[in-house]
Structures are given as structure tokens and as C-alpha cells.
Structure 1
Amino acid sequence: MTDTTYIRCGKLFPGVGDTVLENQTIVAEDGIITRVAPSKDIPKSADATEQDFSRNFVIPGMIDLHTHLAYGNAKTEEDIDLYSSLEFRAVRGVFFAHQVLSSGFTTIGAPGDSGMVSRAVRDAIDAGLFQGPRIAAAGPYITSRQGLTDWYPTWIGVPTTSIGRLVTNRDEAIEEIRKQVKEGVDTVKIAMDGILRRPNGELVAAFTLDETKAMVDEIHRLGKIAITHARGREATLYAGKAGVDLIFHASEIDDEGLEAVVANKCSICPTFTLLRNYVDFVEPQDPAFRERRNSVWRTEFESAVENLQKVKKAGVPMPIGTDSGFALTPFGEWHARELEIFVDYMGFTPIEALRAATSVGANLVRPSDRVGTLASGFQADVVALDGDPSKNISILLDRSKMKSVLKGGKVTPPAKREYDPGKVSDFTQVISSELYTRERVSKLGYRAPSMHH
């Protein structure tokens, strides 16, 4: 028997175009939209379930392309890579995925996690075992010596539980891509930034252009989405020339890189939220406070805004992503801040920002999901709001304004639950936070005990 749902909308932004429609009804059958029409043309039916949002503003379920389900809101790289078993990370990821869903994000990209954690969470949600967003899952980042995720000394290397997979030549890179595809990923992520800098401060790309092109070609040959982490100028240039589908960050993109991105129809996801949260929220006891005090994060943020305004002007698709999963970007908390930043700093109108979070991002997730637009043939993924985000985008960050979230026409129950980080993600064995020299102890107001009795 068909499960029919009528979703009554006071105002409706369908995810495409610039027009906000009024008094519309979405008809969904078994979670798929079959019709969108004026409410007066769709009378009540005894055979249909009604969701009455006739006093609300309705948008498509939003899409965050940069959410790391395996990170666990970690405070340290070691907690991301080392201290939790992959099995625990997967179970924990299910818990956090529900928090993402209840914040209005019904689809996410999980672009690089330990093992096949994101794929496991994706499959459990798809099977109906748990509630969570639709997930386009990647495996571990593919990295090189001195590449992002090759953090540890060479005598440790990249642990098998790390979010990265170290390859030392082109053949190993191609083999890793084939292995990940066999294991069921939707996307493959390349860590294009290295951690070395030239004397002028420029980041050195982790792979050469030829290596990058070979990897991207293989990803595409196998029918998967190619994504890269690339902050630096050189890494962004190589990613653009290789024709990747999605570049994260691109903070230092220059004119040559922009030309390559436009020519090869790449998308760029700036991921401003993590940077901005560093600027705004880091506390004196945080190691990152030194960088904030020295304006490192602010300088990168301001530079990224300036560079990426040119990207917007060139018409490059710019979906949203937040790097959620760190302690600075906890799951379910800051996903909508990227839209606010797009409006406040990048010159997007609220409607353009809503498109970035819906139909623009939909081009970089599983095609079979059919998300990001409220039209016939698409998923009935809906967010109903008390307030008008086309006038004030910031209401998306106010959970009290979120009337309801529907995935496939079904209401998602709230998932805001407290948990103990000491049992969930904070496992680094920190012995002390200070170096207790006699001078430091004196400044703290303590008197060193006498050694004589």
C-alpha cells in the first residue's frame, strides 16, 4: 500500500531559482515527491497523512559536504587517529549522525574518515537500523610523505587507524583507489596539501600534477567523485588542472588556479566555518590561541574571503561544508553557520546561500539520492521554519526556529542529547598542561616546599 503524505507549506523555497512560493502543498508517495502545487488544488484526503506547515517557511533538507563522522568532536589529532577502535568510531558516528540530521541537514558528505567508518554508518542508516542523514561516504584520505594526515614521525608512519592512507608511489595510489572503490565508497579524497612550506611561506603540494591527474582519472574511470583537501596555491592549481569534482578550502587560490577550476568545471567548498570558529572562540588555554593571538587564523580567513570572492564572481559552484567533527565544530551545532558567513562576508544573498546549501551541493552526493530540490521525483526531505531565512539567514542557527525536519516525508525526532566527552572522544593521555618550573610555581602563588627537615 502506498504511503501518501501531504506537506502543506505557507512559504516554499524549492531549492532552485530565486522565487519563494506561497501556499503550496508537496505530495509525497513512499517518501518521493510526486507533485508540488497550490494548496487549493490539493484538497484533504482520507488516504493521506497531513503535515501542516501552513504557517511556516519550508526549504529542502540542507546538505553539508564536509562532515567527518569518525572524528568524534575531537580536541587532538591523536584522538582522531589513534585511541578509539574503528568499531567504536562507527557506533559513535551513528549517534552523531542523528544530531546532524535533527539540525536540518538531511544529506552530508563524509569526505575522509578512518577505515570504512562512514560507509558503515551510511549503510546502517540506509538499511533503516538508525536515523541519520543520507551520506556520500569516502574512505581514508590518500596522502604522501609530508602530506596532510602524515603527521607523525617516520618511525611511526601513518597508523592503520588513521584518517589517512600513505602511498609512496603512483602504483600504490591507484591500488588504494581501486581498493576503496571495491569496498563501496561514493567519493575518494586526495590530501593535496603537504605540511612543508617554501621559504616564502607557500605550502608545497603533496603530489605532483602528473600524480594528481593519474589519481583523478582513475577515480573518474571507476565512476566515483574525486575530492581534494587543498588550501595552498599549488595544491589548488594541481587539483583544478586534474579536473577534480570538488576542492575543499582553496584559501590561497590565485588567478592561474581559478582559470583551471573554471576550465575543468570544478566546484569549491570554502569551509569557512572551522576557520571562523578558530578566530572567534579559541580560549587562552587552547594551543591554537597562540595562532589566534598572532592573527594566523584571522589572516587566513580574510585572505580566503578575498580570494574566494573572485571564485564566486567567476561563477564557480560553491556548495557549503563546515568541517564538523572537531571540538570547534561539534556535530549538529554549526552546520548553518557556513550560510551565514556566505551572506556576511562573501556577498551571497540569503537565497543564493540557500541554493548553496541545497541544489548546488546536491551535485556532489550520490546521484540516486535525488536531493536538494523540492520537485517531482526528488526525496521529500524538508525543513520547516518559524521565520523567513530569505530575509534573515541566521535563523537557521536558532534551533527554537526549527519547527520540524522530515526525511523521506517522515518526521525526524529531536536528537539533542548530552554525553560525556571523557568517555566518547577525549582519550589523549595528557599528564599536565603546564611546565612547573620554580618561576612558574611562584607566579601561580605557590611556595615550593623546603627540601630540608
Structure 2
Amino acid sequence: MSSEQSVLFTNVRIFDSSGADPFEGEVLVTGNTIADVRPKSGDLPRDGVRVIDGQGKFLMSGLCDAHTHFSWVNSADLPGLGTMGVEEHTLLCARSAQTYIDYGYTMCVGAAAAKPRLDVVIRNAINDGQIPGPRYLANCQEIAVTGGALVDGITAFADGPEEMRKQVRRNVEMGADLVKLSMSGEEITGNQHAEDNYFSDEETLAATTEAHRRGLRVCSHARSGESVKMSLRNGVDIIYHASFIDDEGLDMLEAKKDEVFVAPGLNWLVATLNDAAAFGYPPEAAEAAGYKHELDCAIVGLKKMKERGIRVLPGGDYGFAWTPHGTYARDLQHFVELLGYTPKEALLAATALGGDIMRMPDQLGRVKAGYLADLILIDGDPLEDITILQDRARIVGIMKDGNFHKDPGDGTEARPSELKETHRGTPVPA
């Protein structure tokens, strides 16, 4: 479909991500923009417009994953992420990007790449129309201090403030949108624990100051309570995990709730406890390592964040063997079943808050006139059954930037040769 052709979705239930209940109506898309939204079918013009009768299906914004790793490739061989050839790795990243949009994810925030430029190359290829994928904020390798790498071969190292500044400058040079600090441990390593903290205040502040000076944001792998507080003291923008946040940290986070986002990556904890046995990590090993304790603590802390109005987004750490690509919407189920979100609240976290974290709150994450036409059409009601979004077959239409990735008329999906041409190197807003 040409982006110049107008498309009218009629006879649809519109979830506009304003907080209102869905309503029957129609949505007109002109070019890459939502031109009009009406609460009654039949009100908008049909002449010269492609009309899609939704037959009562559920129309909503595309989804956001706030903690994305294109370069995690469904493997249990974590060191293999470092030793894999860059050519093969690039192809697998392109497949990951396509899988995200195949499942209705039109916004993703990069949370580190296994090789320095993988994210940047894939983001640029998506923006150029060479490959299908979501709107993407690119990262480089996560930055750790000596002795703090979680996986060998995929980490950049920096010790002390000056080395932190240099690593941030490398991200700038490579064209990244973000910087990732690996501040705490991970129990599966066996010797680096989730309640550890490896950074100093001086190192963290040097990284955030340099990043912000150059227009990049900073995210942190911060499971421990102290790493969360250190992130907040020193200007980190996006906190990943926050499993062991304490009351002091909650107070600090609430004071910055209009500045900071949290993306807990909850499915990693759930799946490591329940789904890793086939890959040599049985539940008893996961529990002995501390994953059940961490999940229990994380649930308590995240419920308190919800009560305090802190912006918590779904998504995270998909692409390991027991958290494979394509299962992203499990996070929405966890928000409902474990954290006490209503299905509506979970969808708002995955749409409206997605526009916020992408720094495009007036363009992304809502079904509203003037917003970019990133839309998905669902056969079913995710407000009644949030797990519907895990079923690719139920996502019958996927539109990004006014173009169909999956056409609801015939179910076909766009291949790279069918994607629109765009100006080479057009950046995703940072």
C-alpha cells in the first residue's frame, strides 16, 4: 500500500489509549498520519479511500517493548553471543526486528547489543526501508566495570569517571540513542549476585553527564536496591529490573516519576524459574540461585510503584532460549496476573507509555488525530483476555507509519522489497 493512499478502518472497536473504554467507530489514515477518529461508523468520507470493514475487531496502537535485545538470538549459549560471527549475528538481528513487528510491536527501546554496532545498523536499515521492524532506539554494548561483566564477550569496560566518559563518547560516535550501564549482578552467572552493586557514584554521574550533554539517555541494569538509588541520585533515565528496591528507593523514584521510567523485564524471572529446565537449568537450581526470592521481592516493589504512579513498562530480555523472540506479550499477562494491573492498565503501559519512553508522546502510542498511524487490528478483545496478544494469528492487521506490514484484507506480510523508500540515515528521535 502506498503511504499516499487513504485508508478507512470502519466498524471497529477503538481503544485510543486515552484511558477511556473502547468505543465503536472508525479511523481515517491519510499518508502516515491518523487524520480523523469518529465514535460512529459512517461519518467519514469513502470516495477515493480504501475501506476496511473491521467487523467489530479491536483497533489499537502498536505495542512497545521497553527493554529490547535484537542480538539475543534464542540461545542458551550466552558466551556464544560474543563469539558468533558478526555477519551471522547481523542477519539474526534482522530476523529479531521482523519478529517484533510481526507480533504488533511498533516501538522498541534497545537495552544493549552483543556487538558494538549491531543495534545501530539494524535501526538504520529499518529506517531506510531495507528490512521490516519497529521504530527503534539503538544502544551499543552494555558498559561494566572490571569484574562486572555478566556475559563474556559482549561487554564494554570502563573504570573510573574518565573511562566512563570515553565509553559514552564511543556510543555517540557509533550513532547510538542510548547508553547502558551494567551496575548490578545476575544470579545465573553463579558469582555475580542481583543484590550486588559494582559502580560508584562518580562513575555513574560521569556517564550520565556526558550522555546528556551529547543528547543520549542512560539506562541501567539495576537489580539491587543500592544500584537503583545510585541510578536515581545520578540522573539515569531508564531503570531496568529494580527487583530489590527499598522504601528509600521508592521515595526517590516517586520524586522523579515524571522523569524516570522502569522496565522490570519480569518475564525473565518467571521463565527462568519455570521454563529453563529443558536447557539445563531446572526450577530447583533457579530457586536455589535466588530467582524465586527475587521474583517475590520484585512483585512487592512493582506493586508499590503502581500505587505511587511510577511509569512501569512491559518488556525485557526476550531472546534467550527460555524467553524466545515472539513471546513478548507474556509481559502483559504478568502485569495483570502478578502485579494487579487491569488489562486496560497493562495496555496503557504498552501503548501510551511507549510513546512517552520513545520521546514522542504527541505522535506515538495513541489512536488520535494527528498521531502517526502505527496501528494493530485484533481478532478478539484483549481487555477480556490479555493473552490474545500472544497469538500472532489473532493480530490480523499491522500498520506502521501508514503502511501495512500485515494487510488485514489478505493476511499478507510485507517483505523488505515491498517496504517504502526513506531517506538514508534518517534517525529515530533520541
Shorter-chain TM-score: what band? Answer: 0.7 to 0.9
Please name the residue that 2:107 is paired with.
107
Corresponding letter in the other structure for 1:103 = Y
* C-alpha RMSD of the superposition: 2.4
Q: Which residue of 1 aligns with 2:418?
A: none
AA aligned to 2:315 is G
- Is residue 17–residue 348 contact of structure 2 (8 Å, CA) maintained in 1? yes
1:187 equivalent in structure 2: 178
Q: 1:256 maps to what in 2? A: 248
Of 186, 199, 220 in structure 1, the residue corresponding to residue 212 of structure 2 is: 220
Q: Distance in 2 between matches of 1:10 and 1:298?
A: 42
Instruction: Kindly indicate whether residue 37 of structure 2 is the aligned counterpart of residue 43 of structure 1.
Output: no
Q: Normalising by the residue count of structure 1, what TM-score does the alignment of the two structures yield? A: 0.83
Contact 1:241 1:261 in 2 (8 A): no
The aligned residue for residue 336 of structure 2 is 343
1:146-189 deviation digits (Å, cap 9, x = unpaired): 2243x45xxxxxx4xx2x21012211111111221132111111
| 1:100/1:133 contact within 8 Å kept | yes
Contact kept? 2:194, 2:223, Cα under 8 Å:
no
Equivalent residues in 2 for 1:11-410, closer than 5 Å: 11-23=13-25, 25-38=26-39, 39-45=41-47, 47-82=48-83, 84-113=84-113, 114-149=115-150, 151-152=151-152, 159=153, 162=154, 164-194=155-185, 203-265=195-257, 266-283=260-277, 286-287=280-281, 289-292=283-286, 294=288, 296-332=290-326, 334-365=327-358, 367=360, 370-410=363-403
- In 1, Cα distance between the equivalents of 2:20 and 2:337? 19
CA distance in 2, matches of 1:235, 1:85: 33
Does the 8 A contact of 2:318 with 2:325 survive in 1? Answer: yes
**Identity between Structure 1 and Structure 2 (%):** 29
Q: Is the 8 A contact 1:274 1:322 kept in 2?
A: yes
Check whether the contact 1:73–1:327 (CA below 8 A) recurs between aligned residues. yes
**CA–CA separation in structure 2 for the residues paired with 1:276 and 1:129:** 35
Q: Partners in 2 of 1:249 and 1:268 — Cα distance?
A: 7
Distance 2:405 2:194 in 1: 46
The residue identity in structure 2 corresponding to 1:253 is: I
Distance apart, 1:289 and its partner CA? 4.4
CA gap 1:165/1:9 in 2 versus in 1, 3 angstroms? farther
**Residue 428 of structure 2 aligns with which residue?**
none
Cα offset for 1:276? 0.8
TM-score normalized by structure 2?
0.87
Gap runs ≥5 in structure 2: 407-411, 415-430
Superposed CA deviations along residues 323-372 of structure 1, whole A, max 9, x for unmatched, are 1111111112x211111111111111111000011111222225399321
CA distance in 2, matches of 1:195, 1:62: 28
User: 1:53 is matched by which residue type in structure 2?
Assistant: G
Q: Which amino acid aligns with 2:171?
A: Q
One-letter identity of the residue aligned with 1:324 = Y
Distance 2:142 2:263 in 1: 17
Task: Quickly say closer, same or farther: Cα 1:251–1:293, change in 2 above 3 A.
Answer: closer
Larger radius of gyration between Structure 1 and Structure 2:
1
Q: CA deviation at 1:195?
A: 6.3
Find the aligned partners of 2:289 and 2:140 in 1 and give their Cα distance: 34
Residues 29, 292 of structure 1: alpha-carbon distance in 2 compared, 3 angstrom cutoff: same
Q: 1:290: Cα distance to partner?
A: 4.5
The residue type equivalent to 1:99 in the other structure is T
Q: Is the 8 A contact 2:354 2:364 kept in 1?
A: no
Which whole-Å CA distance do the structure 2 matches of 1:298 and 1:124 have between them?
A: 40
Supply the distance in 2 between the matched residues of 1:202 and 1:31 (Cα, whole angstroms): 44
Give the letter aligned to residue 88 of structure 2: F
2:427 paired residue number? none
Q: Return the alpha-carbon distance in structure 1 between the equivalents of residues 186 and 147 of structure 2.
A: 6
Q: What secondary structure, in the 3-state scheme, does the structure 2 residue paired with 1:124 have?
A: helix
Shift of 1:376: 2.2
8 Å CA contact retained: 1:72, 1:92: yes
Deviation at 1:95, TM superposition (A): 1.6
Give the structure 1 partner of residue 419 of structure 2. Answer: none
1:429 maps to none
Letter in 2 for 1:270: P
Would the aligned equivalents of 2:355 and 2:361 in 1 still touch at CA under 8 Å?
no
SS at match of 1:66: strand
State the secondary structure of the residue aligned to 1:41: coil
Change (3 A) 1:126 1:294: same
Question: May I ask how many residue pairs the two structures share in their alignment?
Answer: 401
1:122/1:137 contact within 8 Å kept = yes
For 1:202 and 1:191, how far apart are their aligned partners in 2? 11
Distance 1:403 1:2, change over 3 A: closer
What is the CA–CA distance in structure 2 between the aligned matches of 1:348 and 1:80, rounded to whole Å?
Answer: 35
Q: 2:234, 2:287 → 1: CA distance?
A: 37
In 2, the alpha carbon distance for the partners of 1:191 and 1:50 equals 49
> Is the alpha carbon distance of 1:166 and 1:96 closer, same or farther for their aligned partners in structure 2, counting shifts above 3 Å?
same
| Distance in 1 separating the partners of 2:332 and 2:98 | 21
The answer to whether the 8 Å contact 1:146/1:195 transfers is no
What is the alpha-carbon distance in structure 1 between the residues aligned to residue 361 and residue 346 of structure 2? 24
Instruction: Tell me how far apart the structure 2 counterparts of residues 365 and 285 of structure 1 sit (CA, whole Å).
Output: 34
- Give 1:125's aligned amino acid: I
Q: Gaps spanning 5+ residues in structure 1: where?
A: 153-158, 417-453
* 1:140 and 1:189 in contact (8 A); partners too: yes
Q: Check the 8 A contact 1:268/1:319 in 2, yes or no.
A: yes
Query: Hey, what's the Cα distance between the residues in 1 that align with 2:109 and 2:80?
Result: 21
